[in-house]
Structure 1
Amino acid sequence: MRSMIAINTTVEAAMPQRRTRSLNAPSPFQQFGPCGRIMKNSAVVMQIQDPASQRLTWYKPPLTVLVIKKVSDASVLTPFVQLVLWLLQEKNMVVWVESAVLDDALLNEDVQFRAIRDKLVTFKDGRDDLTDRIDFIVCLGGDGTLLYASLLFQQSVPPVMAFHLGSLGFLTPFRFDNFQEQLTSVLEGHAALTLRSRLRCVMHRRSEKRHEVNHAVDANAPMFPLADTILVLNEVVIDRGPSPYLSNIDLFLDGKYITSVQGDGLIVSSPTGSTAYAVAAGASMIHPSVPAIMVTPICPHSLSFRPIVVPAGVELKISVSPESRNTSWVSFDGRNRQELFHGDSLRVTTSIYPVPSICAQDQISDWFASLADGLHWNVRKRQKCLDELSDLTASGSEDTFDEIENTKMYDV
């Protein structure tokens, strides 16, 4: 990557509203009573940086920018042209776009776009490798544009700045009204980051022949390469597919059998994905800075099977139970749907390559704003306060509770 990025841990004096406490939990006291202590272990020492101090810095000015726009949406065309013109003319940056963008009939009717069309660098999804070619990503649209950016970069991801021009906009905190000022500030290195962890999913096939059969069965799958390893930002979903029978899925954690899922399926999601499919299935919402993996059953045939949260460092193994009447189907962030046969397994753990999502304000403000705006979290009419004095006066009586109860008893 031409323009190296890092997380700036220094506290700038000019930063408003400096946090005085870390988002991480305090280190636990390691002495328990007069005699008990935690045994020292020098094998593994891990230091976790305070997520609130994660800020973007550039080792050198970014030169190349990838612009991802929402497809088949005419309302995004004008902002897209404005953004690309500004990046080319004002910032002298090399702008990359998907090759399909140049084939957009409505976009080619725009006079300004036709003038800059030949200056754009294009790529084809699933064919061209963008690793180390892109310094910066700008998304125009909804949450799907950020998921698409995550899919394009299966290793290190450039910083992503997402503008809300779609429907939900849970992962797109920026508004396009003053995009020039906001982009200039980010390009100068004034931005907070949310490191959105991704899940590393590895398919282990019992037979290569079955893998070839799967390509023929899933004819409606999008044209993306089916790799053995894929990184997802939201979730990996294992379901019963077209079968009328319950799915029967065995779940292992670090090699130990945990339980069998009998129901419609299972969702394994990152903290970012906890507010997607998982929350619709009854899971809790987890802040993206919390290191965790969410495991959520889909319509389990058990009243006691609740969603669980496990540490981010564990490895989950998912396989079709030998007693299952049918196979299962797997999809990764809603794409690359493929069949999971008996004897196959899927291993899921946290990837070392997160998505560095640029904050409009900060990690806390952005997340709660998206909960309120996108999901209308805890929205209800305010309860009116109870004026006890006026209530007693309006009753016109000074009878005590016991007297009222006695009256009711005699009336009966």
Structure 2
Amino acid sequence: MLHPCVLNHLGPVRQWFCIRQVKFPSSRSHLVRSFSATARLHEILDMSALPPRVQPKYKDSPTSSLLSLQWPEPPRNLLIIPKFHAPQVTSSAVTFAKHVLNEYPNVNLVFERRVASQVHESLPFPIYAADPSALHDKIDLVATLGGDGTILRAASLFSLHSSVPPMLSFSMGSLGFLGEWKFDEYKRAWRHVYMSGSRVSVTDLQDPHTQAAVNRPPDDEEGLQLHNAWSHVRGKSMGLARSSKVLLRHRLKVGVYDADGVNINGRLMPTSTAEPQQLLPPAPPALQARNTRGEPMTHAIHAINELVIHRGPNPHLAIIDVYVNGRFLTEAVADGILVSTPTGSTAYSLSAGGSIMHPLVKTLLITPICARSLSFRPLGLPLNSKVVLKLSEKNRGRELEVSIDGKRKTGVTIGMEIRVEGEMVGRTPNGGWTGGVPCVIRSPASGSSAEDDDGWVGGLNGLLKFNYPFGEA
């Protein structure tokens, strides 16, 4: 029996697991203690009590174009984001949450407040509700259950930050081109990402090519520390030589400026009717940089897909002046114009006739939407290009609409401008990476000869029907 003083130092979730695993004698006082603990199982707790975020490291591989995920210690705070208005997906999220807590009791489960209120009665343990302004400092890992829109929603929660936690995505939506995993693989997928880089020896590996690496002891002090950190889940590791592969998806940095040159990003509103009509959360004080006059600077909004400016219900074509790196490029006369990432090249840009780009290509795309001139073709630029879109004085409409990833919008008029540039990614001094959205890639089956990007190639053919033969069903 654990002493009450010991239990008081544990969180509510860990108290539940400690008490559940103890065999109580038939004493009435012990039975009362057990009941008082279970009375708190359905609580929704504040995430401010959670430990700080664990920053993962990403390592280059000599045999892969993808990065290798290396946790310095086991991830503790998991944000689960299911698709809205989908009871079956919500049920799957509950199933996933129960598995994680049953097999990995040191993990804290976090939900958006709206979702937490829907699922907490179905979970036999406390959960945490997410405060968007504090997610960046607390969340180690994000799991999404839904389609590409759910992934965009998850990425938008970190749109003010240059560092995004790894994302484990289950394809349960209408298309799911970005979702890597099928939900029936959730046990393997979670084990795959949780144990990545753990270096704990195991006995359940069947691949003979990795057995020698599995039995080899750690060759440095870091390896020994990692071994001890995962000792409570011995037997679930992927082996010394294995780790999750991560595709780092580039984003855009967007700023909307009024006629006086003042950044108005803070006034952008959400587009979804499923979200409360609220402004972007303020950046944490530690991130509030100041300009030369000592005034707080508004941070850029990051977009994983695209920035779009369009005429909306206005009957007249939009007239937009396009500048690249400070030089005038062209006057666009069209329904609108898109600036997209390689990830966004298979979204709105593709429907508008833009080129398909592999997500590892460091570029941004300018794609016109129904241009008046047939010679106005999609254009690819280096990722570090700075694009400025200004409403021309010739524009007859009173206001055009600007949308960022379909998640935030505002209206722009003559004199305003939108500044867009690609987000550069790079290594930080502690071995991590800054910039981009790290997506955990589904690993091929053991013994498969599939290459790293075969998931993208397969999705291009299977989901987008690339060059699909005319007239076939």
Tell me which interval the TM-score lies in, with the shorter structure as reference length.
Answer: 0.7 to 0.9
State the alpha-carbon separation in 1 of the partners of residues 268 and 174 from structure 2: 32
Alignment correspondent of 1:199: 252
Q: Shift in Å at residue 62 of structure 1?
A: 0.6
Contact 1:191 1:359 in 2 (8 A): yes
Alignment correspondent of 2:144: 139
Cα gap change, 1:161/1:306 in structure 2, threshold over 3 Å: closer, same or farther? same
State the alpha-carbon separation in 2 of the partners of residues 134 and 185 from structure 1: 18
Alignment correspondent of 2:202: none
What CA deviation, in whole Å up to 9, does each residue of 1:326-371 have, x standing for no partner? 2321000112221111111111001242000111136411111221
Q: How does 1:275-314 map to 2 (within 5 A)?
A: 275-314=346-385
Cα gap change, 1:350/1:219 in structure 2, threshold over 3 Å: closer, same or farther? closer
What CA deviation, in whole Å up to 9, does each residue of 1:62-84 have, x standing for no partner? 11111000010012122111111
Alignment correspondent of 1:407: none
Q: Which amino acid aligns with 1:225?
A: L
Cα gap change, 1:168/1:203 in structure 2, threshold over 3 Å: closer, same or farther? same
Matched, 1:225 2:279: yes
State the alpha-carbon separation in 2 of the partners of residues 211 and 313 from structure 1: 23
- 2:441 is aligned, of 337, 359, 380, to 359
Unpaired segments of 5 or more residues in structure 2? Answer: 1-51, 197-242, 281-297, 425-434, 444-450
State the alpha-carbon separation in 2 of the partners of residues 256 and 187 from structure 1: 47
Q: Which amino acid aligns with 2:332?
A: V
Q: Shift in Å at residue 231 of structure 1?
A: 0.6
Alignment correspondent of 2:457: 368
Q: Which amino acid aligns with 1:244?
A: P
Unpaired segments of 5 or more residues in structure 1? Answer: 12-17, 20-51, 384-412
State the alpha-carbon separation in 2 of the partners of residues 71 and 8 from structure 1: 35
- 2:181 is aligned, of 156, 174, 188, to 174
Q: Which amino acid aligns with 2:343?
A: T
Contact 2:80 2:111 in 1 (8 A): yes
What CA deviation, in whole Å up to 9, does each residue of 1:261-288 have, x standing for no partner? 1010001100000000000000111011
Alignment correspondent of 1:58: 71
Q: How does 1:375-394 map to 2 (within 5 A)?
A: 375-380=464-469
What CA deviation, in whole Å up to 9, does each residue of 1:297-341 have, x standing for no partner? 000000111101000011000110112112321000112221111
Higher radius of gyration, 1 or 2: 1
User: TM-score, normalising length from structure 2?
Assistant: 0.66
Alignment correspondent of 2:59: 8
Matched, 1:67 2:80: yes
State the alpha-carbon separation in 2 of the partners of residues 142 and 165 from structure 1: 6
SS in structure 2 of the partner of residue 367 of structure 1 = helix
Percent of matched pairs sharing the same residue: 31
Q: Shift in Å at residue 148 of structure 1?
A: 1.0
State the alpha-carbon separation in 2 of the partners of residues 210 and 197 from structure 1: 23
Alignment correspondent of 1:240: 311
Q: Which amino acid aligns with 2:253?
A: R
User: TM-score, normalising length from structure 1?
Assistant: 0.76
Moved >6 Å (runs of 4+): 208-212, 218-221
Q: How does 1:73-92 map to 2 (within 5 A)?
A: 73-92=86-105
Q: Shift in Å at residue 373 of structure 1?
A: 2.5
State the alpha-carbon separation in 2 of the partners of residues 215 and 3 from structure 1: 30
State the alpha-carbon separation in 2 of the partners of residues 369 and 248 from structure 1: 39
Aligned length: 334
State the alpha-carbon separation in 2 of the partners of residues 233 and 94 from structure 1: 27
What CA deviation, in whole Å up to 9, does each residue of 1:109-154 have, x standing for no partner? x7xx1423xx1110245xx321120111100011111111111113
What CA deviation, in whole Å up to 9, does each residue of 1:188-216 have, x standing for no partner? 1121111100000011112599969x879
Alignment correspondent of 2:326: 255
Alignment correspondent of 2:230: none
State the alpha-carbon separation in 1 of the partners of residues 246 and 365 from structure 2: 22
State the alpha-carbon separation in 2 of the partners of residues 302 and 208 from structure 1: 31
What CA deviation, in whole Å up to 9, does each residue of 1:232-285 have, x standing for no partner? 000010001221111000000000000011010001100000000000000111
Q: Shift in Å at residue 378 of structure 1?
A: 2.4
